[in-house]
Amino acid sequence: MQYCETCGGPVTDDFVRVFGTDDGEVFACLDCATMREIAAGGAATGAETTAR
């Protein structure tokens, strides 16, 4: 089990693989961010959810 770097909440391995960094870190989860923010890359980059 992995944990969100921001809030410490548990995240699944699949979640990390899909949304996390290459190092296996996740900076947002459904406990501390919205699915929209996570899908936009927030889980891999922290709060950097600005649109590109």
Interface residue list for Zn ion (CB under 5 A): 4, 6-7, 9, 29, 31-32
- Token reading at 32: 């501390």
Choice between 32 and 49, CB closer to Zn ion: 32
User: Shortest approach of Zn ion to residue 43 CB, angstroms?
Assistant: 8
User: Nearest residue by C-beta to Zn ion?
Assistant: 4
Q: Which residues of 1-17 are buried (b: 16+ CB within 10 A; e: fewer)?
A: ebebbbeeeebeeebbe
User: Shortest approach of Zn ion to residue 7 CB, angstroms?
Assistant: 3
